[in-house]
Amino acid sequence: MATTSQEAQFVTFSLGEEIFAVPVEVVREILDYAEAFKIPNGPDYLLGLRDVRGQGVPTIDLRLKLGMSKTVPTSHTRVLVLDIPMESRLLTLGLVADRVFEVTPFRRDQIEAA
């Protein structure tokens, strides 16, 4: 699917009844859900570290971070592994999603600031 400069590609996913999207260029991969290695004394939303191709990736329960109930894993639960550019480095983070849908183009003028 061709996109114009007025469009951007996003990976859409859900948390409960809410649908969210992240830019496709920050999504490294989408994995089946698996328990993360627990980190002692971490915040409740930090599930722990997950081994992603030999790299320890901190994984968060985005539902808890957003004030929703804790994720109850199902066969549809996925982990989006994101590479988020920061000022001086690349932050790699796993986000647990109830379900991942598809890559969808959105017009840039339809996107609201976070």
What CATH number should be reported for the domain holding residue 48? 2.40.50.180
Reference 31, options 79, 100, 82; nearest CA is: 79
Mean model confidence pLDDT for the chain: 92
Domain-embedded: residue 1: no
b/e sequence 74-97, b meaning 16+ C-beta within 10 Å: eeebbbbbbeeeeeeeeebbbbbb
Domain-embedded: residue 103: no
What amino acid occupies position 92? T
pLDDT, position 4:
58
Query: Which two tokens mark 106?
Result: 């959105």
Q: In the chain, which residues have pLDDT < 70? A: 1-4, 114
Residue 50 sits in which domain range? 22-98
pLDDT, position 108:
82
Domain-embedded: residue 113: no
Give the chain's domain count: 1
Q: Are 59 and 79 in contact (CB under 8 A)?
A: yes
